[in-house]
Every structure is written in structure tokens, then in C-alpha cells.
Amino acid sequence: MPLILVAIDGTGPDPGEKTTDGKEKYDEAFCLSFVKTVHDRAPTIYKKYLRGPTELGLETGPLAAQAAKLVRKYVFDYRAAIQAKNAAATLAYWAAAPKQQTVTMPGDRGTMAMAGSGQPLDAPPKQETPEPVKICLVGYSRGAAALICTAGLLSTKMFVDRATGLSRSIYGVTTEEGPLDVDYLVMFDPVDRSFVDAGTVPSNVKQVFSVLRDPVTKSREFMGNCGSNWDSGTTKRPPFPKFTTTHGGMGGTPWCTDPDWQAKFKDKKDGSGKTAASEWWGKKVEEVADGSRDERTFYAWGSVKNLYKPLAGRHVSGLQEVAEAKHTDITHQQDLDGSKAVWDAIAPKLLAAGIITNAEWPGKNIKYNLAHGLPLTTPR
């Protein structure tokens, strides 16, 4: 059964935003993401990886529509490839067939010659019939929310171009394509912080793999999850525990993989050649001695003489996510360990379903590479 896979990753840096090395910051931040890993390891030519939205999330809806168009185009391309294969086999069969000898037939005016049509001696090749396709949608964060909407778009009929499979015909020659089932919807911590209706998984989804972060981490507390309801009682939804990692860790992008975090340690190495990043593992914020100690104090409105009256400060223990006023309650080591637990829980199911060919954790070299100032994707 041919696999069709479309993957949308999570929210990240704007296109064109570069690292200190001049590389695309989004590509660097998501180089080992679970969504990208699933895409790269999917055994099919009918697949596409799409980067996630930017901070405002305005791209979420258009990404959902783009993914639906890609799925239908891949279905069209697969069927067209089978038709082309059948046509090529038939042409080759007739081209290689032995020609009949010229025959003479008596007639009223004598004899006449008639060239044979080249009718071959063997039976013609059997025509291959397209198999049912297996459709898989894989998303993280807002990318997962977008793919819930994609599944909904695939549950309805659509008119597509007969020649290209695209949803809009240049020449006006279209054919009606029926609804499509989604065999697998894989979601890494789907969030509802977007301008789409992604609360309910539609009934054309046969199986859902959804993994969520544990609120005890205090990671992205203002982000709720979506896709927690579904239309059909026949949709399979294997239970997963909630994971002790940040929202970033849920997608295979724990905060130690953030290019800005890495840049702080890149040129700081000790005598053994290790970077200063190696000092952070398992440490609490107030234990770090490089100026990152949390010295914040909360203020309240006071008198005119003392405009801001200090309240009791709070020393916190966990890593701090970008654009968050509060720290989380987990360290970088716990973030990385929790991220690995997410992959270890879901990867065997993806392997058994034929969605990936390799269940090895993509982040196995993260800690070593960071400590030695190497790119995260450098193999050991």
C-alpha cells in the first residue's frame, strides 16, 4: 500500500532570520525535530515537509489548505504513475512483437499482398490496478492544529485538474474527486493558539497518535491543547502518558537545541575542549555562575514617592523559555530526557505502521555535540 505523507512543523523564527553563521535559523532550530525526522524516514516518494507558522500564526490556515492540496495531488500522481506504467508496458509489448509475414490472397484481379499487423504470439501484459493509498499527516504544535483542518478538508469532495491533480484548473478541465480517509494523524503537543478551528478531529481520520506535555513542567502554561475531541467512535486513539518536558521538547526541539542558546557557549571552551554548555546539564538557574542567575523582583504600584514598591522576589529553578515571564520547573537535562521519552513512546508505533523505517532517537548526539561545539546533526 503506497504511503502519502505530509508533515508540518511548529512555530519558529521568521523566514530569512539567520544564525551567527549565516544559516537559516528555523532550519537550524528544527534540524532534528520529530516531524522532520518522520518525514525523512518515511519510505515513500509521495511526501512533503513544510515549515511551521511564524509567531503570530497567520500562516496556519493557508498551511492546512496547502497540505490538503498536496495530499490530493500525490493521490493523483500515484494513479497517473500506474497508468503511465501500464501504457509503457503495452507499447513495449507491441514494439517487441514479431511481425507476421506478408501473405498473398487470391482475388478477382489476381493476388494482393497484405502486411501483417504484428500480432504477437504471447499474451499482452496484465494491467496493474492502483492500490488504495495510506495517508499520514504529521504535525507539531500549530502544525498539528493545521493538519486537523487538513483532515477536515479531505473529508469533502473537491474538483481537481485532470492533467495536474491540482485543485484549480488552468484550462477548466476538471474532475470530481471524492472524500479521502486519513489513515494516521500524528500530533506532537497540538496547540490551539491559532486562527483555525482545530478542536475536533474529523470522522475521516482512522487513527490518532497524540502526545501531550505534562502541566507540572509549567511550560507554555497559556497554551491549551487541541484535537482532544473527535467525531467518530471508530477513530482509534491509543493512550499515551503526559510527558515531563517543555513544549519544545515535545516536538524534538528541547531548548538546548535553540540556536540562540547555543550561541552563548559556542566560543567558551575549557582546557578539555568542551564548551560552557556542558556546565548547564541538570543545574538550576540560580546555581549557574555566568550571569544568568534569576535576580528578578516583582513590583506593585506604590506611593508617589516610591512609584514601585518591591514585593518578595521568587528564585525559580527551571529553564526559561523565550517570551515567557516565568521559568519552567525543569532543567535542560530533564527537558532533553523528557523529549527522548516522547520519541521512545511513539516511534515504535510509527515503525509498526510502516510510517518510518528507523525508530532510533534523532537526538542521541545532542549533548555530546553541544559540549564539543559541533553541529547537532554531526554523527559520532
Residue recorded with cell 493523483: 76
**Helices 60-95 + 142-154 axis angle, to 10:** 60
Q: Which of 9-18, 86-95, 118-127, 220-229 reaches the highest mean pLDDT?
A: 9-18
Confidence at residue 164, expressed as pLDDT on a 0 to 100 scale: 57
- C-alpha 212/C-alpha 262 separation (Å) is 26
Confidence at residue 282, expressed as pLDDT on a 0 to 100 scale: 73
Phi and psi at 216, nearest 5°, equal -65, -20
Closest by Cα among 56, 36, 61 to 47: 36
Neighbours of 141 (CB within 10 A): 31
Q: Tens of pLDDT along 20-70?
A: 888 999 999 999 999 999 999 999 999 999 999 999 899 999 999 999 999
Q: How many residues does this entry show for the chain?
A: 380
- C-alpha 65/C-alpha 152 separation (Å) is 10
The per-residue DSSP string of 183-237 comes to SEEEEES-B--SSS--SEE-TTB-BEEEE-B-GGG--STTPPB---EES-TT-B-
C-alpha cell at 57: 500564526
- C-alpha 315/C-alpha 323 separation (Å) is 18
Contact 155, 175 (CB under 8 A): no
Confidence at residue 278, expressed as pLDDT on a 0 to 100 scale: 76
Please list the helix, strand and coil fractions of the chain in percent, rounded to the nearest 5, in that order.
30, 15, 55
- C-alpha 82/C-alpha 66 separation (Å) is 24
The per-residue DSSP string of 32-80 comes to T-HHHHHHHH-S-SSEEEE----TT-TTHHHHHHHHHHHHHHHHHHHHH
Q: Is residue 184 predicted with pLDDT exceeding 70?
A: yes
Confidence at residue 148, expressed as pLDDT on a 0 to 100 scale: 95
Confidence at residue 65, expressed as pLDDT on a 0 to 100 scale: 93
Largest CA distance in the chain: 128
Q: Is residue 111 predicted with pLDDT exceeding 70?
A: no
Q: Are strands 3-8 and 110-114 parallel, antiparallel or unpaired?
A: unpaired
- C-alpha 330/C-alpha 245 separation (Å) is 7
C-alpha cell at 296: 528578578
- pLDDT, mean over the chain: 81
Mean of the pLDDT values across residues 277-292? 58
- C-alpha 288/C-alpha 291 separation (Å) is 7
Residue spans per domain, the chain = 3-83+129-265+328-368
Closest by Cα among 195, 185, 182 to 62: 195
Higher-pLDDT residue of 194 and 180 is 180
Tell me whether residue 243 is exposed, middle or buried, using C-beta atoms within 10 angstroms of its C-beta: 0 to 12, 13 to 18, 19 or more: buried
Contact 154, 188 (CB under 8 A): no
Mean of the pLDDT values across residues 296-310? 34
Residue recorded with cell 512609584: 307
First-last CA distance in the chain: 35
Q: What is the reported pTM?
A: 0.83
